[in-house]
Amino acid sequence: MIGVLVSGKGSNLQALLDAGLPVVAVASNNTKAEALDRAARAGVEAAAFPAVEFASRERRDEELAEWLAERGVELVVLAGYMQLLSAPFLERFPGRILNVHPSLLPAFPGAHAVEDALAHGVKVTGATVHFVDEGIDTGPIVFQEAVEVREGDTAETLHARIQQVEHRLLPEAARLFLDGKLTAAVSA
């Protein structure tokens, strides 16, 4: 069963739901995330865990991990989750957290990958699905696919094409994981 962490629009969450994957819980750091409404519309339990309501980020992440574990979550998917997970969360789900990112990592990590790629003038960027470790958009890579930058692209037009790829790669990775065909071990 899958728990999804979101911060914004939730189009990747929608792709997981549309793929018929067993999403049982959706949580956000942001009480206003549109993704929480999507979860509610799909009949999936959803909750917000804003850091300001907890003594520390670590305490919030502990409670968040507990909430997901209580719902039987075995795979956590970060679908546009824009905060770094602290140690208590990572220790609760070792090798069980996937993230999707709008660049060909390790190029352009962080919250502005599409804008950064455009500013750099790259001709090709793309989408990455990877296992999460303690870094910012680091960890073993599962899937990557290139997306060409077109003449006249804005961050919006380029991101929209990257998201089409994300919406295919992320559900595929989640399904492989649930089928036991994907592990976080990096082969030598």
What residues line the site for ligand GAR (CB under 6 A)?
8-12, 35, 79-80, 100-102, 111, 113, 137, 163, 166
In the complex, the smallest distance separating the C-beta of residue 86 from ligand GAR, rounded to whole angstroms, is 16
Query: How far apart are alpha carbons 56 and 59 in whole angstroms?
Result: 5
In the complex, the smallest distance separating the C-beta of residue 3 from ligand GAR, rounded to whole angstroms, is 15
Query: How far apart are alpha carbons 44 and 36 in whole angstroms?
Result: 9
Q: Rank residues 167 and 185 by Cβ distance to ligand GAR and give the closer one.
A: 167
In the complex, the smallest distance separating the C-beta of residue 187 from ligand GAR, rounded to whole angstroms, is 25
Q: Rank residues 66 and 146 by Cβ distance to ligand GAR and give the closer one.
A: 146
Query: Who's near 57: CB < 8 A, 6+ residues apart?
Result: 51, 83, 86
* Whole-Å CA distances, 153 to 35, 36, 103, 127, 186: 26, 30, 15, 16, 35
E strand or H helix at 147: strand 141-148
**Residue 130 designated active-site:** no
Q: Locate tokens 């500013």: which residue?
A: 119
Q: Rank residues 66 and 164 by Cβ distance to ligand GAR and give the closer one.
A: 164
> Which residue number has the CB closest to ligand GAR?
80
Among all residues, which ones are annotated catalytic? 101
